[in-house]
């Protein structure tokens, strides 16, 4: 990956930041994209101090015009984008019948529209070059129903199918598109779902009242666990893999 340009959305978040670091450590030049400018600057300055080639490009993925402008700027400043990671995501909890219009719209604006906006802008540039690799970070909730996560699961399922359809369309150009579906991962998003000190234990052991099994490997994933899977699917080692959905959840979805 030495000196190849990678664009990562949701770069200031737990998984996104881990992906940025993992790519930077492998020699990639990383365009870190997030709508949280201060956190993004903090991240990129820290990684730059560690000797990694990372640059901040603040942008809101829900704004198609801003995304197109950001991708233009990335290619002008850093060079052609060869890797794209869609890691931006939001979570709105609530039973399906209690979700507000705002909850639903905000979830799909980032988790689905954001993937569409960024993929469209980047793929338009990848096609003439006949090379590129894309990974969309979804969730095991895209395949396994979770109580209180109807909007999140539906949005991640939509993002997954969009990415697979895109993969089919661009395969003739040598562009690969894959999915990484994390389970419970130690990030601010997961911690926001814990209401007391029993949260981590319930995550690992499961909750029968919520029809949720635990994690067979008996631990919550680290963001780096997800990042390693993303990097593999982007790399030349996965050069004949496309439309694949790699679940990284310690067995929590029982192979579903």
Catalytic option among 83, 152, 173, 211: 152
Identify whether 152 is a catalytic site residue.
yes
Find where tokens 């906006």 sit: 117
Which structure tokens are listed for 61? 């993925």
Q: DSSP for 99-164, please give it.
A: --HHHHHHHHIIIIIHHHHHHHHHHHHHHHHT-EEEEEE--GGGTS--TTBHHHHHHHHHHHHHHH
- DSSP 8-state symbol, 174: T
- HSE value, Cβ hemisphere, 13 Å, CA-based, for 102: 0
Contact 79, 125 (CB under 8 A): no
CATH superfamily of 5-188+223-248: NAD(P)-binding Rossmann-like Domain (3.40.50.720)
pLDDT tens for the chain, 256 residues long, are 889 999 999 999 999 999 999 999 999 999 999 999 999 999 999 999 999 999 999 999 999 999 999 999 999 999 999 999 999 999 999 999 999 999 999 999 999 999 999 999 999 999 999 999 999 999 999 999 999 999 999 999 999 999 999 999 999 999 999 999 999 898 878 777 777 777 777 778 888 888 889 999 999 999 999 999 999 999 999 999 999 999 999 999 998 7
Contacts of 207 (CB under 8 A, 6+ apart): none
C-alpha distances out from residue 49 to 6, 114, 167, 189, 205, Å = 19, 30, 36, 27, 39
pLDDT value of residue 145: 94
> Alpha-carbon distance 148 to 107, whole Å?
13
Q: Measured in whole angstroms, how far is the alpha carbon of residue 125 from the centre of its chain? A: 20
Please report which helix (H) or strand (E) contains residue 55, including its range: strand 54-56
pLDDT value of residue 253: 94
Contacts of 101 (CB under 8 A, 6+ apart): none
């Amino acid at each position: 990956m030495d000196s190849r340009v990678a664009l990562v959305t949701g770069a200031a978040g737990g998984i996104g930041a881990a992906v940025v670091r993992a790519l930077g450590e492998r020699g990639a030049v990383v365009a870190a994209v997030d709508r949280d400018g201060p956190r993004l600057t903090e991240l990129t300055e820290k990684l730059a101090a560690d000797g990694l080639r990372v640059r901040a490009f603040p942008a809101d993925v829900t704004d198609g015009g801003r995304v197109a402008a950001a991708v233009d700027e990335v290619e002008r400043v850093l060079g052609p984008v060869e890797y794209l990671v869609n890691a931006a995501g939001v979570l709105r909890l609530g039973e399906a019948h209690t979700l507000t219009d705002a909850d639903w719209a905000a979830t799909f604006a980032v988790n689905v529209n954001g993937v569409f906006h960024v993929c469209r802008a980047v793929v338009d540039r990848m096609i003439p070059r006949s090379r590129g690799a894309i990974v969309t970070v979804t969730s095991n909730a895209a395949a396994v129903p979770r109580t209180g996560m109807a909007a999140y699961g539906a949005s991640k399922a939509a993002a997954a199918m969009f990415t697979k359809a895109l993969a089919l369309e661009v395969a003739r150009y040598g562009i690969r598109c894959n999915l990484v579906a994390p389970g419970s991962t130690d990030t601010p998003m997961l911690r926001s779902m814990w209401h007391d000190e029993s949260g981590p234990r319930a995550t690992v052991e499961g909750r029968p009242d919520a029809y949720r099994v635990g994690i067979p490997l008996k631990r919550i994933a680290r963001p780096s666990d997800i990042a390693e899977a993303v990097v593999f699917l982007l790399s030349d080692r996965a050069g004949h893999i496309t439309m694949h959905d790699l679940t990284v959840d310690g067995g929590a979805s029982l192979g579903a």
